[in-house]
Amino acid sequence: MTAKSAAAAARATVYGYPRQGPDRQLKKAVEGYWKGRVGADALRRTASELRRGTWRRLADAGVHEVPTGDFSYYDHVLDATVMVGAIPERHRAAVDADATDGYFAMARGTQDVAPLEMTKWFDTNYHYLVPELGPDTVFTADSTKQVAELREALAEGHSARPVLVGPITYLLLAKPAPGVPAGFEPLTLLDRLLPVYAEVLADLRAAGAEWVQLDEPALVQDRSRAELHAAERAYRDLGGRTDRPKLLLASYFDRLGDALPVLAQAPVEGLAVDFTEAAAANLDALAAVGGLPGKRLVAGVVNGRNIWINDLQKSLSTLGTLLGLADRVDVAASCSLLHVPLDATAERDIDPQILRWLAFARQKTAEIVTLAKGLARGTSTIAGELAANRAGLASRAGSPITRDPVVRARAGAVTDADTRRCRPYAERAAAQRARLRLPLLPTTTIGSFPQTGELRAARADLRAGRIGTAGYEERIEAEIQEVVSFQEKTGLDVLVHGEPERNDMVQYFAEQLTGYLATRHGWVQSYGTRYVRPPILAGDVSRPRPMTVRWTTYAQSLTGRPVKGMLTGPVTMLAWSFVRDDQPLADTARQVALALREEVEDLEAAGTPVIQVDEPALRETLPLRAADRDAYLAWATEAFRLSTSGVRPDTQIHTHMCYAEFGDVVQAIDDLDADVISLEAARSHMQAARELAAHGYPREAGPGVYDIHSPRVPGVEETADLLRTGLRAIPAERLWVNPDCGLKTRAWPETRACLENLVAAARTVRSEL
Ligand code: GLN
Ligand code: ZN
C-alpha cells in the first residue's frame, strides 16, 4: 500500500441517517397506523419513500456508498431481534399472526402483554429495546427486512452497504429473559448465534451486497478477556466463511483499547473507527498494531453526535496520518447521524451568524464529502469549502456569545469554599428541623403534577398569540391554586407548585438562560415515535433574571405549609442538550451552576425554605470507560455543590434521581452533600434504600413508594409495606415518603388516589413507631 493510492481511493460514506423525514412523516405514519387511521400498505409506502428520499439526498450530495437496513419503524436493535428470530415467548403468537402488529407489540406492549424493556443506547439519548435471551433461546435467520432494503437501494441505482448490529454487541446488550436466572450470560449463546449471522450475510451477498457493516460499539466499553476472546472467535468464524460479502467492523462512541488489536487481526476486509473524541487513543493504538495492511479503514472524523461544524483542516491532517496505515481510507461521521437533527438550514429563527457554526445531518454529509474529495484529489479542489469553514470557526471563536468576560471572570473566581455548605450536615439538619417542624416520615412529591391538555393548549394559545402573557399567567396561577389546595387537603407535608408552566425540565430553563439556543425543527429520535428537540449550549451562560421565583412564591403565598422550589441541576442541563465542544464540559457545567446558584439564592431570599435541584442524568452521563469516570464525577458533583452551597444552614436542599440501581455512583451521591435525596425505588422493593444504607449514607432520603410509570394505584397497605421495608434500611428520623418521580405523565384521577394512599400509609407507619 502507498499513501498516495490510499488517498486516491478515498470515498465518502455514512453509517445511518435520521429516519423521521423532514416533516416527521414517519412519526405521523406509525402513530396513524397504531390508531387505525393509516393502513399497512400506506405505512410501508411512506417508509419506502423516506428511505429512497434519504438515499437520493446522500447520493446527490456525493456520498459514494449509502447505508441500508439502518431505517426502522421503531428501533434497530428490535429489528436485529427479529432478524435473529429471538422473539420472546409472550409475543410469539402476535408476531405469527401479523409481523407488523407483533413488532409493535414487542415495542409497546398490549393490554395483556408487556413490551421489551427499553434502555439507553450507550451514552446517547437514544433508547433501544433490550433483547431477552435464555438458555432455551433458539435463533433463526430472517433476513427479509435487510434484503428488501438493500434491493430497494440497488434498484434505485445506489452503491449500498447494509448495516447490522454485530453479534457481540447484540449479545452484550441483551438481558436474561423473564424467568431465567439473573446470572445467565447471553454471550454464552454466541455459538448458536453465529450461524444465523452467517446465513443473513450469505443472503445479503446473494442479493448483491459487496460490503456489509457489522456495528460493534460494545467493544469501546471495558471488556473482559473472555469477552474479547468471544469477539475474536466470532470474527474468525464469520470471516472464515466463503459465501459472504466483505465485512466492515464498525466501532464508535469511544476508544477501542484492547479490542483494537482483536479487530485489526480479524480475517475481515475493513474497520471503521471513531477519530473524534477518542482520536488520539485510537490513532496510537492503530499505529501500535502496524496499521491495517491490505484493509479498508473508514475514518469517523466528523462528529456524528454533536451539532458543530467540523474543523476540516484538522480532520484532513488526521486523515493524512491515517493514509500511511491502511490500503484505503474512507471518510465518515464518527457514528450514525441518527443522533443529530436533519437540517440546520430549516432553522429560520437562529441568527445567521450562529447558523454558520452549526452542522446537522445534511451539513455533516457535505463535510464528509468535502473531506473525501480533498483527500482524493488534493486540497486545492476544496479551497472554497476550506475558506468558508475557517471563517465559520473564526466567527465562533471570536464571538461575544462564546466569550462573555463577565461570565468568565466569575467562573475563574470560584473557590473550593464556594462549593461547600457553610455548616456540616448535622448542624444544618438541626436548624432545618427547627424551622420546618415536619413530622417523622414527612410526605412530599417530586415536583410536577399532571400536564393536562388544557395546560398544553394554554401554551399553544400563547405561542399563537390567541392569548397574551397576562391571560397565560392567569391560567398557570389557577392551576397552581388547584395543585396547592389539593396537596393541603390531602395532607402532604412539603408542597410543590406543580410545574404547570414548564414544557420540559431542561428546555424551560434553556429558554431563559443566555448562551442557550432553541431550535424549531431540530428533532432527534429518543425512542420509537418520540422525538425531542435538545437545546444547544452555544455560548457563555448567564441568567438575566429570576426564572422560577415568581411561581414558587405565588404557591407559597397560598399556604402556611412549606413549598419546595424546583430547579434542574447543572449536569442534567448539559446531558439533555447539545454541548459546546470548544471548552471542557467541566467549564460549561460551572457556568450553568453559577446561573443556578443565583436562582437558588433568589429563592431563598424570597422565603423558600426547601429547594430541590434535580439531577436525573447524573448517572446516565457516566463515561463508557471506567478510567474516565472519576474525573467526570469530580466535576459533576462539584457543579451540583456550586449551585446549591450558597444557602443558609436552615435552607433545606433536596436532590432527585430516577433510577433504582446506582451502586456505581453512590459515593458521588454522597458527595453532592444534599440534605435530602429522593430516588426511584418502588418497583425494586426499596433497593435504593438498601444501597444507600450499605454505603453508610448519612443524610435524609426518600426512596419512592409509588411507581409513576404506571396508572396502577397501589393500596395503602402495599405502600405502608414498602415504607416498612425502607425503615429496615433507613431510620425513621431520616426517611421521607414520596413517589418515584414527577407526576407530569399521569392523569389526575390516579394521581389523587395514589397520593391519598401515600399519606394514609405514612400515617399508618408513623403510628407504629
Ligand atoms: N421535578 C421533575 C418532575 O417532577 C423531575 C423530573 C425527572 O426527574 N425526570 O417532573
Ligand atoms: Zn425523576
- Cα→Cα distances 759→326, 449, 467, 749, 764, Å: 67, 16, 38, 16, 9
Residue 711 — very low, low, confident or very high, per pLDDT cuts 50/70/90? confident
Give the ligand whose atoms come closest to the C-alpha of residue 745. 1
pLDDT in tens, 19-47: 999 999 999 999 999 999 999 999 999 99
Distance in Å, CA 555 to ligand 2 centroid = 22
Residue 686 — very low, low, confident or very high, per pLDDT cuts 50/70/90? very high
Distance in Å, CA 738 to ligand 2 centroid = 11
Smallest Cα–Cα separation from 134: which of 102, 103, 108, 171? 171
Residue 277 — very low, low, confident or very high, per pLDDT cuts 50/70/90? confident
Distance in Å, CA 683 to ligand 2 centroid = 14
pLDDT in tens, 442-471: 999 999 999 999 999 999 999 999 999 999
Annotation-wise, does 614 bind a ligand?
A: yes
Q: Is 709 among the catalytic positions? A: yes
pLDDT of 663 reads 80
Residue 112 pLDDT greater than 90, yes or no: no
pLDDT of 5 reads 79
pLDDT of 481 reads 98
Mean of the per-residue pLDDT values of the chain? 96
- Cα→Cα distances 191→167, 213, 237, 561, 716, Å: 10, 20, 10, 63, 50
pLDDT of 26 reads 98
Q: Coil, helix or strand for 354?
A: helix
**CA-CA distance, 579 to 588, in Å (whole number)?**
8
Residue 511 — very low, low, confident or very high, per pLDDT cuts 50/70/90? very high
pLDDT in tens, 552-581: 999 999 999 999 999 999 999 999 999 999
pLDDT of 592 reads 98
The pick from 497, 656, 751 for probing ligand 1's pocket by mutation, whose C-beta has the most ligand atoms within 8 angstroms, reads 656
Annotation-wise, does 656 bind a ligand?
A: yes
Instruction: Give the binding-site residues of ligand 1, using a 6 Å CB cut-off.
Output: 446-448, 499, 505, 566, 614, 616, 656, 658, 741-742, 744
Distance in Å, CA 259 to ligand 2 centroid = 36
pLDDT of 175 reads 96
Give the ligand whose atoms come closest to the C-alpha of residue 445. 1
10 Å CB burial of residue 592 (0-12, 13-18, 19+) is: buried
Residue 172 — very low, low, confident or very high, per pLDDT cuts 50/70/90? very high
Mean pLDDT of 349-376: 97
Nearest CA to ligand 1 atom 5: 742
Residue 660 — very low, low, confident or very high, per pLDDT cuts 50/70/90? low
Residue 223 pLDDT greater than 70, yes or no: yes
pLDDT of 254 reads 97
Annotation-wise, does 65 bind a ligand?
A: no
* Ligand 1 atom closest to the CA of 445, numbered from 1: 4
Residues facing 532 on adjacent strands: 524
pLDDT of 510 reads 97
pLDDT in tens, 115-133: 999 999 999 999 999 999 9
Sign of the alpha-carbon torsion through 472, 478, 484, 490: negative
DSSP assigned state of 327: E
The pick from 505, 508, 659, 679 for probing ligand 1's pocket by mutation, whose C-beta has the most ligand atoms within 8 angstroms, reads 505
Residue 664 — very low, low, confident or very high, per pLDDT cuts 50/70/90? confident
Annotation-wise, does 446 bind a ligand?
A: yes
* Ligand 1 atom closest to the CA of 566, numbered from 1: 1
Q: Which of 127, 229, 339, 709 is catalytic?
A: 709
pLDDT of 65 reads 97
Residue 2 pLDDT greater than 80, yes or no: no
Mean pLDDT of 164-170: 98
The CB density around residue 287, as the number of other CB atoms within 10 Å, is 13
Annotation-wise, does 499 bind a ligand?
A: yes
Distance in Å, CA 447 to ligand 2 centroid = 9
**CA-CA distance, 252 to 221, in Å (whole number)?**
10
Residue 436 pLDDT greater than 70, yes or no: yes
ipTM, two decimals: 0.99
Annotation-wise, does 658 bind a ligand?
A: yes
The pick from 446, 566, 657 for probing ligand 1's pocket by mutation, whose C-beta has the most ligand atoms within 8 angstroms, reads 446
Q: How far apart are the first and last CA of the chain?
A: 79
Residue 3 — very low, low, confident or very high, per pLDDT cuts 50/70/90? confident
All three cell numbers of 615: 439531577
Distance in Å, CA 759 to ligand 1 centroid = 20
How much of the chain exceeds pLDDT 90, in percent?
96
Following DSSP, what letter does each residue of 558-615 receive, concatenated? T-SS-BEEEEE-HHHHHHTSBPPSSS-HHHHHHHHHHHHHHHHHHHHHTT--EEEEE-
pLDDT in tens, 175-201: 999 999 989 999 999 999 999 999 999
